[in-house]
Amino acid sequence: MTSYATVEDYRTDTGDSASDAARVESMLAQQSAKLRARAGIADGRTLTEDQLLMCRALVTDACRKALVKPSVDAFGDLTGLTQGTFSANGFSGSFQNANGSGAAYFDRDTLRALMRSLGTSQTSGTVIPSYGRL
């Protein structure tokens, strides 16, 4: 199956040079498959250049969210944490981590734009009930 990004694309888009290349390649293939299923991209469908760029952005971003561990300089690895507070010498601070679980997920705005360009986005319409002859 088609992967929407290469390891080099991933490294260029995310700046992550520390992740193992084999793991990155595997994650890119997994997220590409997930994107095809989520967006309803049929096997063998030809995508436009813009659609391919959106697929690449979605896949590399999702992989980065799973592969790059969140950290704060003073605390190190924050995997599994969603928030924390600290205090020292009368000063205090706090932080929040949006993805403590390290899950790979797609950016909603970009996914919505891709699905709209594919013609698979949800639209709302009007339902007019028919009661027959009155």
Structure-token pair, residue 95: 């932080």
**How far is 79 from 71, CA to CA, in rounded Å?**
8
**pLDDT grade for 106, boundaries at 50, 70 and 90:** very high
**How far is 126 from 131, CA to CA, in rounded Å?**
16
For 4-46, the pLDDT digits (tens) are 999 999 999 999 999 999 999 999 999 999 999 999 998 888 9
Beta bridge partners of 94: 85
